[in-house]
Amino acid sequence: MMTITDIGTMLQLLEANYGSGMYKDTNRENVLNLWTVMFEDDDPKEVAYAVKDCIATLQFPPKIADIKSRIAQNRMAGQMTEMEAWAVIRKAVEDSNSRAEADAIFEKLPKIIQRTVGSPSQLRAWRTVDDADFETVTASNCMRTYKVLAQREAGWHALPADMKDAEAWRIDGPKQDALPAGETPKKVSYEKPEWMIRREQMNAERQKNDAFGTVEKI
């Protein structure tokens, strides 16, 4: 956790590079208090690394958002890439031969992959998708979803502690409050995506035309 002393040292480092007048239009005590509040929950090593990154790449003095952004980027560097995430999802789909297997496999997936997939039933549903569509459309959608979630997760870790609890979209979100006695949770329906419905309609139409084509002409 960053202390006010750590913050003071960080500001001195920035001033040594950008000049002592970088905050000349702002009360230094207010600056020190603000930066302490915004960074007090961060790891000093992570903050120091981000500050050095900013000094090495930014021509003008970094603001809090600049340093927070570097912290988020550095945390994303340790996550799976979109291709690595897709490889995990593909293997999970291949191994989901039954509902029980899909449930067990889904439970063991990393939280961010679970959020990307959605549900165990989706693993089973993707087994029915045409191979070409699975490796193109499904893969593209999964990688895009994973990328968004990864960015959100990295950004969430850079927030002050009092703001983290308000962000419901984070991967390891807060547990839902218990339901009142007698109430049951609402069932969630997983509808087929529009592209899958269109493909099934096209396949049905193609089979119908092929059947007519085999009838001998009189």
To the nearest 10 degrees (0 to 180), the angle between helices 44-57 and 4-18 is 10
Domain ranges across the chain? 4-76, 82-167+187-193
Check if the beta carbon of residue 51 is closer than 8 Å to that of residue 62. Answer: yes
Which residue intervals of the chain are DSSP H helices? 4-18, 28-39, 44-57, 64-76, 82-95, 99-108, 111-117, 120-126, 131-133, 139-157, 161-164, 194-213
- Fold entry, domain 4-76: Helicase, Ruva Protein; domain 3 (1.10.8)
Q: Which of 74, 88, 82, 200 is nearest to 148 (CA)?
A: 82
Three-state secondary structure of 82-119: HHHHHHHHHHHHHHCCCHHHHHHHHHHCCHHHHHHHCC
Q: What is the pLDDT along the chain (218 residues), one digit of tens a residue?
A: 888 899 999 998 998 998 877 766 677 788 888 899 889 888 899 899 999 999 999 999 999 999 998 888 887 777 788 999 999 999 999 999 999 999 999 999 999 999 999 999 999 999 999 999 999 999 999 999 999 988 888 777 667 666 666 655 556 543 333 434 444 434 333 344 455 566 667 767 766 665 545 444 33
CA distance 200 to 119: 22
